[in-house]
Amino acid sequence: GDSVTQMEGPVTLSEEAFLTINCTYTATGYPSLFWYVQYPGEGLQLLLKATKADDKGSNKVFEATYRKETTSFHLEKGSVQVSDSAVYFCALGNTDKLIFGTGTRLQVFP
């Protein structure tokens, strides 16, 4: 069945470092791909999404490119801040449901 695999965390970075969180997927058909962020004790917030191959999802600071050839959707940010510390979930939507990866905790230190 469909699945999402994320790199295990925690990912620990210093402020202004470059961020990459890897995400790969297995799916039939042509799924949509998402990145969500979860701050402590809160629900999920959509960061970005991409609906077809080669699409670049972006919210101006985070971006991810839907790569069908490598079945990947890696999240990137050029310069992280302490406020980016959170758990990041990669997700796949292929019917009516979202399938989540296990989440990657990011810790950014000053």
- Contact between 36 and another protein by CB under 8 A: the answer reads yes
- Contact between 72 and another protein by CB under 8 A: the answer reads no
- Looking at the Cβ atoms of 67 and 105, the one nearer to another protein is 105
CB contact at 8 A, 80 and 13: yes
- Contact between 88 and another protein by CB under 8 A: the answer reads no
- Dig out the tokens for 72 from the structure: 């990947």
- Contact between 44 and another protein by CB under 8 A: the answer reads yes
- Contact between 53 and another protein by CB under 8 A: the answer reads no
- Looking at the Cβ atoms of 51 and 79, the one nearer to another protein is 51
- Contact between 105 and another protein by CB under 8 A: the answer reads yes
Site residues, another protein (CB under 8 A): 32, 34, 36, 41-46, 49, 51, 89, 93, 96-98, 100-103, 105
